[in-house]
Amino acid sequence: MDVVFTSIPAYGHLYPLMPLAEATAEAGHRVSVATGRPFLDALPSPTYRCVPDHVSISWAEQETARRHPELRGRDFGVAMFGDVTANVTAETLLDRWRDDRPDLVVLDSGHVGAAVAAHVLGIPAVALAVGLWGPFGPLTYDAAVGYCAALWQQSAGGPPESGDGLVAAFVDPLPPSLRLAAPSARHVPLQSVGWSHGDAPLPGWLTEPATRPRVLLTLGTVAYGAVGAMRTALDGLLQLDVDVLVVVGPDGDPAALGAVPPHVHLERFVPQERVLPLLDLVVHHGGTGNLLGALRHGLPALVLPQGADQFVNAARLVEVGAGRSIEGDALTADAVAEAVAAMLAPGSSEGRRAGELASEIATMPAPPEVVRVLEEIVGP
């Protein structure tokens, strides 16, 4: 079968799809990836554009403000993903898929326009979760049915009755204890597997025997103007007897954090899946990739949410007892030091709970098993 994996061109949306894409290719199927810069021609599978080059998060924010000046907060985000990016993505992919029709589309769950394009053309689509389904998912998918109404004039079947009807299945890498709601589409659990492209070396100090706890501090690969939050978190970690790995993201500037002592190691990017087994705790922004990465290795986390779905993820991690969260004005160096020290203490409840969730993840179906589900959806 011919399968297109398609994603918003962002690390946190694309990389979760890649283990399943590689397993699909290894099973003998034709695989391509529809995304955008900087990932074009930089992946193991052939790539092509799913959005025009001018489309970016900042463009989408500006365009949403122009189209929907009355919207704020969550409603603004729903319009951005359910209208602005959905329409421009769907139009781009419709042009491509009319001439080069795949048998199946596997999309990141935030990439609503790909689901719309597939539905208009009658191609089965599967969404792979890059976050908790609720509350943002149902609102955005339902909104897209209305916002993209004009596109269904090109479809004999018309729009679905609700957003759930845009996909045939929902592939979910979240362990059962962490999940909230799921769409009414077929629910397919998938073991979370780390993935990164290339052979980036490990920082040399991590290959040496540890003499004290090691903590990763990262606020993800998408900047939210969070240099101040990162510096505050680092100041808190400096109160503790720990080694600190700070990852500022591919486009980040390590110098923006100012002078740091020798036991603080600044990097733009590291191969996360090789680094995490060498750590004891993660301080991160609440992106789903970091959330699941830490849990895969049984690491408790301190979450400092900055935007998007990170506040929901942080709240859920605290609810299940595998981490702590600090938000807004509560973020101080002393608060970070207190929270991290408590979670690093022997026998901490967060450490124990993170280990239980790691065991849950390890028992979930691996990507090759889920490929068989994709084959069933396409049929003979």
Single-letter amino acid, residue 86: A
For residue 209, is it within any domain?
yes
Q: At which residue do the structure tokens 């004290």 appear? A: 212
**Residue 221 has what pLDDT?**
54
For residue 348, is it within any domain?
yes
Cα separations (Å) of 306 from 278, 310, 311? 26, 7, 8
Question: Within this chain, do residues 52 and 183 fall inside the same structural domain, yes or no?
Answer: yes
Question: Within this chain, do residues 154 and 284 fall inside the same structural domain, yes or no?
Answer: no
Residue 374 domain boundaries: 2-191+364-378
Question: Within this chain, do residues 28 and 161 fall inside the same structural domain, yes or no?
Answer: yes
Question: Within this chain, do residues 230 and 166 fall inside the same structural domain, yes or no?
Answer: no
Kindly state the tokens that stand for 157: 């079947």
The answer to whether residue 78 scores a pLDDT higher than 80 is: yes
For residue 198, is it within any domain?
no
CA 375, CA 2: separation in Å to the nearest integer? 10
Burial class (CB in 10 A: 0-12, 13-18, 19+), 171: buried
Question: How does pLDDT run across 169-194, given as a tens digit for each residue?
Answer: 999 999 989 887 777 788 999 999 88
CA 73, CA 232: separation in Å to the nearest integer? 26
The answer to whether residue 132 scores a pLDDT higher than 50 is: yes
**Closest-CA residue to 113 (of 34, 21, 42):** 34
Rounded to the nearest 5°, which phi and psi values hold at 60? -65, -40
Cα atoms in the 13 Å half-sphere on the side-chain side of 243: 17
Q: Looking at the 3D structure of the chain, how many domains does it have?
A: 2
Cα atoms in the 13 Å half-sphere on the side-chain side of 17: 32
**Residue 224 has what pLDDT?**
47
**Residue 45 has what pLDDT?**
93
Burial class (CB in 10 A: 0-12, 13-18, 19+), 186: middle
% of the chain exceeding 90 in pLDDT: 59
For residue 232, is it within any domain?
yes
Question: Within this chain, do residues 143 and 221 fall inside the same structural domain, yes or no?
Answer: no
Contact indicator for 312, 376 with CB cutoff of 8 Å: no
Q: What is the mean pLDDT of residues 332-357?
A: 95
Question: Within this chain, do residues 296 and 277 fall inside the same structural domain, yes or no?
Answer: yes
Question: How does pLDDT run across 204-263, given as a tens digit for each residue?
Answer: 888 888 889 999 998 765 444 577 888 899 999 999 999 999 988 766 677 777 778 888
For residue 199, is it within any domain?
no
For residue 138, is it within any domain?
yes
The answer to whether residue 11 scores a pLDDT higher than 90 is: no
264 vs 220 pLDDT, higher one: 264
For residue 197, is it within any domain?
no
Mean pLDDT of the chain: 89
* 280 C-beta neighbours (distance < 10 Å), count: 19
Question: Within this chain, do residues 105 and 136 fall inside the same structural domain, yes or no?
Answer: yes
Contact indicator for 326, 304 with CB cutoff of 8 Å: yes
CA 261, CA 280: separation in Å to the nearest integer? 20
CA 149, CA 159: separation in Å to the nearest integer? 7
Question: Within this chain, do residues 211 and 161 fall inside the same structural domain, yes or no?
Answer: no
- CA-CA-CA-CA dihedral for 209, 215, 216, 219, to nearest 10: -170
Question: Within this chain, do residues 26 and 52 fall inside the same structural domain, yes or no?
Answer: yes
**Closest-CA residue to 313 (of 339, 291, 293, 335):** 291
For residue 196, is it within any domain?
no
* 169 C-beta neighbours (distance < 10 Å), count: 21
Rounded to the nearest 5°, which phi and psi values hold at 243? -90, 140
CATH number for the domain spanning 217: value is 3.40.50.2000
DSSP tally for the chain: helices H, then strands E: 14, 13
Q: What is the mean pLDDT of residues 33-56?
A: 91
The answer to whether residue 122 scores a pLDDT higher than 50 is: yes
DSSP run (H or E) holding 120 = helix 112-121
Kindly state the tokens that stand for 8: 């918003």
* pTM, entire model: 0.89
Question: Within this chain, do residues 147 and 294 fall inside the same structural domain, yes or no?
Answer: no
Cα separations (Å) of 316 from 96, 204, 281, 312, 321? 39, 35, 18, 6, 9
Instruction: Tell me which DSSP letter residue 217 carries.
Output: E
**Residue 203 has what pLDDT?**
83
Question: Within this chain, do residues 208 and 240 fall inside the same structural domain, yes or no?
Answer: yes
Question: Within this chain, do residues 276 and 336 fall inside the same structural domain, yes or no?
Answer: yes
**Residue 169 has what pLDDT?**
94
**Closest-CA residue to 71 (of 8, 133, 140):** 140
